[in-house]
Every structure is written in C-alpha cells, then in structure tokens.
Amino acid sequence: MTAPPPSLPSTASLTKRKLDDVLSVFQVKRHAHADGTASQQQPPHSYRIRLGDTDLLDRISTFKESFWFGKPDTLSAAVCAHHGWCGYALNTLRCSSCHTILSCHLQGAEAHDSDAAEFRARLQTAHNERCPWRSFTTPETAYKFPIVSNDYAEKAFRSRMDSFLDCRDDIPSVSSSKILPHLKEILKHVSDDLSLSSRPVSPPALQSIVMLSLAGWECHRGAPGRTTAKCHLCHRVVGLWNFARATASRENQDLEGTPTAGAVPDDDTRLLDVVAEHRRYCPWVTAGTDSTARAVHHQYHPEATVSARPLVTNIDQKISEATKYLDQLLPKRDQSRHT
C-alpha cells in the first residue's frame, strides 16, 4: 500500500506565514503569558525602534567620531558598514569577516570626487579573495527607518519621553533645523496628560523633552552632571551638559525652538538642534521624525486622513504584496500536485 502524498500547506497557513514575515519588520517583541496572551508589562526600552539587520547596526556602532570624521558622504560610516567594514582606528577600516585592513585619508571638501569614487570601489575589491563581501553588499533598504504601526511608534515615543522625564533637571534648551509636523498639538496633549501625573515639569523643559523624543533621542543618566542623549540608530551620543538648560527664561520660544518677538535668547550657540545633532545618514533624519510625529498625532486624532497616516498605508501595501505573492505561488503548487 503506497503512502499518501504529503499534504500541501493550506491557503490560510501560507497566508499567515507570509504575513508573519511582513509583520516581522515591525520589530515588536511581545512577552506572552502561559495562556498565550500578550503581556501588558513591558521591560524598560522594549518599545525601541529597531532595525532588522542587527549586524549592520553593530558595524555602524564601531565608527567612533574620534577616528572617522570629515569623510565625504559617499564614504560615510553607513556606506562602509554596508560593505562589511568596521571602524578600527584613525582613518582605518577592518573587515568584519576577512579582517583585511584598509586606510582612508580623504577629508571632506578636500577630497576630489574621483578619489572618493576610487576608494568607494575599493570597499568591495579590497576584501580577501574568499571573503563573501567581495560579491555581497547589504541592501540600502536595510538602513531605512523601519515600518512600525502607529500604536508601536506612539509607545516608543512615550518610552523615550519617560527616559527624559526621569532626568528632567538636566534637560537642555533645544532648536530644530527642521519643522516637526503636528508639534504644537502633540505638545498640548502631552502637557494635558502630564498635568495629572506625579512628575511635574516646567513648560520649557517639556517642550525640549517632546522635541528630543520626537527626533528619536533617548536619555541616559551617567555620573552627576553627565547625562547624555543617545540615538540607537546612528549611535550618536550627545552630552547634555554642553548646552544651555531649559529654564523659564526661554518660555517665549515658539515650538520650533526659535525665539519669538520680544524674547531674549540666553545663548543661541548652546541650543541643541534635535535633528542636526544626528549623523547625516541617520534614518531619524531621513524619515523617522516625520513618521513618528504623524503616528503620535494619529493616536490623539484617530480620524486623521490617510495622507497623515503613512505608516498604516505602508502596512496595507505590504499585505497587498504578500497576497499577490500567494496568488502567484498557489497555482504553481496546485499544478505540481496533479503532475
């Protein structure tokens, strides 16, 4: 008696599997109870915006500002990391696989385009002949701001804001080289929420906290007077003690951090620019601040139009792509079963 042919996965199971692959880019780490329900108690910083390629992020983190600075944008830390290189020493790279050493002494505007293009080609050819990085490059999409749900983006924003509220005595005065969408409305709602909490904060400090959190910064308390803000996507660390404190004297600033008529700034050179302090290639600069601001705004205004909800639109697009993929795949499976 011949054994029956192996059964093919059902359409439902294939759909679930494909959608799970799509949703995995959200980086939502759930903590489940024994009965399978999602835990409501999340550990600190569990709502952090993360990239799917942690190896790429680890390589980027090795580029310290003390020894990889002034390079052309075409040779940024992110570009080098996409080709498998890590920061090793002053003007020096080291392959994460074959350990080849590569030196670069090109500096910013002094570097000719032809020289930068030549060195960029060496990012691939300088690897050992058997090194996989000679024929492989991490896709550019791996370092794009990840697709997350509006709910998750809002929770991540709240988590970053909580980190600054715990260090509210060290909050700096801030500005922004980029207008953050919906900032005034978000600040009003956050202020209303905090008015009922046990963590009072002055209006100038609250404005700084909201802007820092919208721009992806997370606060880390060090030794007394050594509190820092860190971006976990470009690994930029900023010492808050280098900037003027957010005090009541700055209350007359508008919500972009620009002094309004009649306001006398303490020292504009000591304002922390929440966007410009990121590294130029950081996903928070290219897309993160706008996406997060719109997602947080949508949590307060669920009736917002689709144009103000780009994250949800992207999710629907991914699901549509998964459905089309299944439509193409299933007929082939059915045909192979009958042959």
Do 246 and 158 belong to one domain? yes
**196 and 225 inside one domain:** yes
Name residue 238's beta-bridge partners: 229
Do residues 138 and 154 both lie within one domain? no
Domain annotation covers residue 9: no
Instruction: Say if residue 105 is in the same domain as residue 180.
Output: no
Is 128 among the domain residues?
A: yes
Q: Does any domain span residue 40?
A: no
Enter the pTM of the model.
0.70
| Cβ contacts of 155-159, under 8 Å, gap ≥ 24 | 155/47, 156/47, 156/48, 156/49, 156/292, 157/213, 157/214, 157/292, 157/295, 157/296, 158/47, 159/44, 159/45, 159/46, 159/47, 159/48, 159/218
Domain total of the chain: 3
Cα separation of 15 and 326, whole Å? 7
Instruction: Indicate whether 168 and 210 sit together in one domain.
Output: yes
Please give the residue range of the domain that contains residue 287. 150-300
In 3D, which of 213, 125, 95, 231 has the Cα closest to residue 163? 213
Residue pair 254/262 in contact by the 8 Å Cβ criterion = no
Tell me the C-alpha distance between 38 and 223, whole Å.
Answer: 36
| pLDDT digit string (tens) for the chain, length 339 residues | 444 444 444 444 445 444 444 444 444 333 333 333 333 444 455 789 988 899 999 999 999 888 898 888 889 999 999 999 999 999 999 999 999 999 998 876 666 778 889 999 999 999 999 999 999 999 988 998 888 888 888 899 999 999 999 888 899 999 988 877 788 888 888 888 776 667 778 889 999 999 999 999 999 998 888 999 999 999 999 999 999 999 744 444 444 444 333 333 455 568 999 999 999 899 998 787 887 888 787 777 766 543 333 443 344 555 565 566 556 655 544 454 454
Domain-embedded: residue 49: no
Asked whether residue 4 is assigned to any structural domain, the reply reads no
CATH of the domain at 62: 1.10.1170
Domain end, chosen from 97, 112, 142, is at 142
In a domain, 231, yes or no: yes
Encode burial over 235-260: b for 16+ CB neighbours within 10 A, e otherwise: bbebebeebbbbeeebeebebbbebe
Predicted pLDDT of residue 242: 94
Instruction: Residue 278: count other Cβ atoms within 10 Å of its Cβ.
Output: 23
Place of tokens 């003027």: 244
Same domain, 288 and 160: yes
Question: Are residues 220 and 281 part of one domain?
Answer: yes
Is the same domain home to 169 and 285? Answer: yes
What are the φ and ψ backbone dihedral angles of 2, each rounded to 5 degrees? -75, 145
Do 290 and 314 lie in one domain? The reply is no
Res 37: pLDDT: 36
Contact 228, 219 (CB under 8 A): yes
Crossing angle for the helix pair 150-165 and 289-300, nearest 10 degrees? 100
Residues paired with 93 in a beta bridge = 87, 102
